[in-house]
Structures are given as C-alpha cells and as structure tokens.
C-alpha cells in the first residue's frame, strides 16, 4: 500500500521520539528521516521504525505514587432506612387518619438510636417522622379525651344526681 504524507509524518514522529529518548544517535536519526520522506510504501516506513517503540516510553500517571488518602474524597455515609420509613409514616398520618403515627414514632426513635451507633445519616428524616407521629398520637389522645368527656357528660345529664 502506498504511503501518504500523514503516514510519513507519523513515522518521523516515532523516529523523533526514539532520538529524544536516546535510542538513536544523530547520524542514524538523520538517515532514517531521509529514508522516511523518500519511502513510497507503508511497508518501507514500518521497517524504519520496527526496532523502536511506537511513541515515547509511557510515563507513570502520578510521579510520586498513588494519591494520598488525605486528598481522596471522603465516602458518603449511608442514610438510615428506618429514618426514611419514619418520615414516610409521619407524612402518611394525614392520609391514614393518624394510623401511621405510632409506627412513625417507634421507627423514629429506633433510627436515632441506630444513627448514633453507626454514624449513618438521616437525622432530619427521623426528626420529621417523630414530630408528625407525636402530633398524630397527641391528636388522637385529645380526640379520645373529648369523646370520653362527652360520654361522661351525656350520662350525667341523663341521670340527675338527686333523682
């Protein structure tokens, strides 16, 4: 196959790299460059660079070894699953009429305990679940207290104390 101008330039680049690395002396380099520019086929060019690496010798990416741990990004801690479940239960209190309030409180306290022990994240989610859960529980207690008070008042009105 006939050699193109780009093929010749690539061969000369390989020869320059070999000369720069000390693999060729100056007279040998000049002789091979002249032959590269006069070569007609790719095969002739291949013979000129066959004993040289194809390009400069590879250099290590980091000259001083691996990157020190101080410069690496810190791994992100995981989010606690119970904290997420607590928040979901707390948010669902409105849709379920407060039935998920107690699970939100229980999961929130369990999540906070686990997060202190393991270093996981999710404190905001656990706190959201706790607040919404306790509001739901308090709402149910107020509702049941008012219902009980109404029942007591209804029985006392129906049966006068003096009769």
**pLDDT tens-digit series, residues 88-143:** 999 999 899 889 999 999 999 999 999 999 989 999 999 999 999 999 999 999 99
Closest CA to 139 of 105, 106, 97, 108: 97
Residue 45 CB contacts under 8 Å (≥ 6 apart), including other chains: 3, 7, 8, 10, 11, 36, 39
State the pLDDT at residue 56.
Answer: 47
If one counts every other C-beta atom within 10 angstroms of the C-beta of residue 43, the result is 10
Residue 72 is predicted with a pLDDT of 77
Residue-wise pLDDT tens digits, 61-77: 555 567 667 777 888 88
Dist. CA 76–CA 79, nearest whole Å? 9
Q: Are 33 and 10 in contact (CB under 8 A)?
A: no
């Amino acid at each position: 196959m006939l050699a193109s101008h780009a093929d010749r330039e690539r061969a000369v680049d390989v020869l320059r790299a070999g000369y720069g690395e000390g693999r060729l002396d100056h007279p040998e380099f000049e002789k091979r460059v002249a032959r590269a520019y006069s070569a007609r086929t790719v095969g002739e060019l291949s013979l000129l660079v066959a004993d040289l690496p194809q390009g400069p010798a590879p250099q290590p990416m980091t000259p001083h070894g691996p990157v020190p741990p101080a410069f690496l990004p810190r791994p992100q801690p995981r989010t606690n699953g119970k904290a997420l479940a607590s928040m979901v239960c707390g948010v669902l209190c409105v849709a379920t009429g407060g039935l998920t309030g107690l699970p939100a409180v229980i999961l929130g306290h369990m999540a906070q305990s686990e997060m202190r022990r393991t270093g996981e994240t999710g404190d905001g989610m656990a706190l959201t679940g706790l607040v919404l859960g306790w509001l739901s529980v308090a709402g149910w207690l107020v509702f049941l207290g008012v219902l009980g008070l109404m029942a007591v008042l209804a029985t006392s009105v129906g049966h006068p104390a003096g009769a």
